[in-house]
Amino acid sequence: MQFVCKNCFYDKELIGFIVSQGNIGNCDCCKSEDVETIELVELLDFFNELFSDFQVKSEGKSLVSLIQGNWNLFSNLDCGHKILNEALNQTYSTISSSEDLVDFSDEILENINYWSFLKEQLKWEKRYFTNIETLTDDLGWDSFFESKTIINEDETYYRARLHQNSQEEIYPIDNMSCPPARYASAGRANPIGIPYLYLSDNEETILYEIRASYLDEISVAVFTKNKEYQNEIIISDFTEIPTLYHPNGVNKKIKSTLLKQLISRDLSKPMRRYDSELDYIPTQFICEFIKTFTNVQGIKFRSSLHNTGSNLVLFNQKTMKCRSVKKVQISKVSIKARKI
């Protein structure tokens, strides 16, 4: 196999490279015709670096499944198998096949597993004098949150408040933003006394997020960008499909994706009645870390309570403005249980 084409891949950065550097021709992998193609040899440096970030492990997962599961590098598994096997034949690697069981390298695992250590340290050992230099100079975490998006003026987000009884009037617009600092309780992202604005990108998601029950009455507010806020609202986006292709930067791409997956999981994890607010501390810390070292106005991450929606945490509520409020009542609740 000599030529591969843009249709063999799903990674937008790699597709862009093929389009800019390739020539129109026929693909030896997916058999596309009259399409932008490139010689596989032109991608061998990338694949060589990629393979060096894995190690053979008998209890691991297949190479192709790890790559596809985390980055969707290829357009389909058939292309993945063909290209990986051909690249393995043309590079030096301890991995011999796309089906070999592998795990990430010890260096990568040590980097991302520091999150588990840090969580326990923040909760039980030291909270205010954590060694930031370890996170920045040694682990490079300050450069792992570069995937950003900008909130446009036409984007709509939602926030909701439960009513305490059915006689309550709809909450006024002024009461739908953050509480005053002295009343701000600790949240998954914000420390006590420092209010952040929590929003969701669709109305159904926000109802799940506030744990609405059958017949509950709720005020639902619509938020858009505050036109009086002159700067762009730049968000660290944990929901964006990650790219893997990067000349001489694959190792960093892998670490960034895996660490953000762990943090996003903790950010979206719903609190149970018997959980302690101590469990908030690690995610509060990492939000402050991202806020400080990336100069963003918030974080976007997937909702674990409503898998088609995403949540938005804004560090400064003045970036958004409440446009309207309506009162709704929950008419149906679906509950599913799983054995544990």
What pLDDT, on a 0 to 100 scale, did the predictor assign at position 273? 64
Q: Where are the beta strands (DSSP E) in 96-237?
A: 101-104, 148-150, 157-162, 197-200, 217-225, 234-237
Residues 6+ apart with CB under 8 A from 178: 184, 195, 196, 197, 317
Distance CA 51, CA 278 (A): 39
Calculate the CA 268 to chain-centre distance.
10
∠ CA 66-68-71, rounded to 5° = 100
Taking only the tens place, the pLDDT of each residue in 266-314 is 998 876 666 677 889 999 999 999 999 998 999 999 998 888 899 999 9
Q: What's the pTM value of the predicted model, to 2 decimals?
A: 0.91
Taking only the tens place, the pLDDT of each residue in 197-239 is 999 999 999 998 888 888 889 999 999 999 999 899 999 999 9
∠ CA 112-113-118, rounded to 5° = 105
Considering Cα of 200, then 176, then 297, then 286, what sign does the dihedral take?
Answer: negative
From the number of C-beta atoms within 10 Å of its C-beta (0-12, 13-18, 19+), residue 309 rates as: buried
Taking only the tens place, the pLDDT of each residue in 176-200 is 999 899 999 888 999 999 999 999 9
* pLDDT band of 248, cuts 50, 70, 90: confident
| Residue boundaries of the structural domains of the chain | 3-103, 148-243+257-329
